Copies of this chain bind each other. A is one copy, B any other.
Amino acid sequence: MSDKSIGIVKTQYFSFAEPPAALQLQSGRHLAPVTLTYETYGTLNNAKSNAILVCHALSGDAHAAGFHEGDKAAGWWDDMIGPGKALDTNLYFIICSNVIGGCMGSTGPSSINPETGKPYALDFPVITIEDMVDAQKHLIDFFGIEKLFCVIGGSMGGMHVLQWASKYPDKLVAAIPIATALKHSPQQIAFDEVIRQSIMADPAWLGGSYYEHGQPEKGLAVARMIGHITFMSDQSMEEKFSRKLKNDNLSFQFIDDFEVEGYLRYRGYNFVKRFDANSYLYITKAMDYFDLSGDKFMPGIRKTNIRFLVISFKSDWLYPTHQSQDIVRLLKRKHAYTTYFDLNSTYGHDAFLIEIEDETRLIRNFLANVSLD
């Protein structure tokens, strides 16, 4: 643990919408009660003006930084969050919460349905990115924060950033969407659909009601393998694996001859241990439904004072540069102060988790130029 680590942290629980109250959903259905897990790092100032909301990607969680007691691995964006880091806990109060629909403590398909006493499974309502943000809004209100200093996130987290800016434009000063899009292209929908089909093709999925019997391991592992291919670039795979063999010779059998095959199997089956298959269905569906293109972004607003930093990565073919350029074009229409960087990384979509040095430089400078009050 370095001296730039925030040290030991603990996930917290925040519940709201206790019946008869409920969270109204885009589908017309409602959810009650709702629990969000979250973590905070740094200190909220008296004016409550230094809060930064960090939004996680598809399989992320509230544990963005520091270490859980006894854990060797730090949170998923620990390199970015801590004293002196891009999101400097000496200056800012960082909040990260797990999305609804997830499986890391927030209410999702694996949570107990109070009406049946059993896990929701597919009785859980299909939720949207907007629903996720609405739930986050309850958490921000709970802290008594009138205005977030910044909302930041990559991939799906970037969708949350855009949704915050669009739905709650008075509630944030700055916004940093990274490696994301205003809407999924048909190619992105296609990958998500195959991921879902892979899970649902596994007989162990049992129509979603597998909780007493264990996960649909094989279907979920294959789904995740598909994901991992899309997270890397052709070049980063070449650099990491090339055609290196696991053993001296080709096996002439249907085993994993190449290192890249072993890597995918490892990542696939590891995912099964930590992520709920139904959550994968719900969250990918939410991402596919997301669409803030054209007039759907910041409806009725002619000019926004929110300051934007948009970041994409040249080798990211899952969320390609042209999608971030679309965001920038739309922001200019809203006369937003916008800074845009298309970074020269070879790491593909994973770059937003890896290119810490470049991101730190850009984000620190950007935030330093945004007045804290």
For chain A, residues 164 to 197, give those with C-beta under 8 angstroms from any C-beta of chain B: 183-187, 189-191, 193-194, 196-197
Contact partners of A186 in chain B: CB under 8 A: 237-238, 240-243, 258-260
Residue A366 interfacial (CB < 8 Å):
no
Minimum distance in angstroms from A219 CB to a CB of chain B = 6
Residue A27 interfacial (CB < 8 Å):
yes
Cβ-defined contact, B289 with A250, below 8 A: yes
Residue A202 interfacial (CB < 8 Å):
yes
Minimum distance in angstroms from A105 CB to a CB of chain B = 23
Which residue in B203, B241, B259, B288 is a CB contact (below 8 Å) of A258?
Answer: B288
Cβ-defined contact, B196 with A254, below 8 A: yes
Task: State whether A198 and B198 are in contact (beta carbons under 8 Å apart), knowing that A190-B229, A253-B126 are contacts in the complex.
Answer: yes
Residue A200 interfacial (CB < 8 Å):
yes
Minimum distance in angstroms from A359 CB to a CB of chain B = 25
Cβ-defined contact, A221 with B238, below 8 A: no
Residue A226 interfacial (CB < 8 Å):
yes
Contact partners of A194 in chain B: CB under 8 A: 222, 225-226, 229, 264
Cβ-defined contact, A193 with B234, below 8 A: no
Cβ-defined contact, A237 with B190, below 8 A: yes
Minimum distance in angstroms from A127 CB to a CB of chain B = 9
Residue A33 interfacial (CB < 8 Å):
no
Give the distance in Å from the alpha carbon of A226 to the alpha carbon of B198 in the complex: 10
Residue A291 interfacial (CB < 8 Å):
yes
> Can you list 27 contacts pairing A with B, beta carbon distance less than 8 Å?
A27-B252, A28-B252, A29-B252, A184-B243, A185-B238, A186-B237, A186-B238, A186-B240, A186-B242, A187-B232, A189-B258, A189-B260, A190-B264, A191-B229, A193-B261, A196-B254, A197-B264, A197-B265, A198-B222, A201-B218, A201-B219, A202-B218, A203-B203, A234-B320, A254-B281, A254-B285, A317-B317
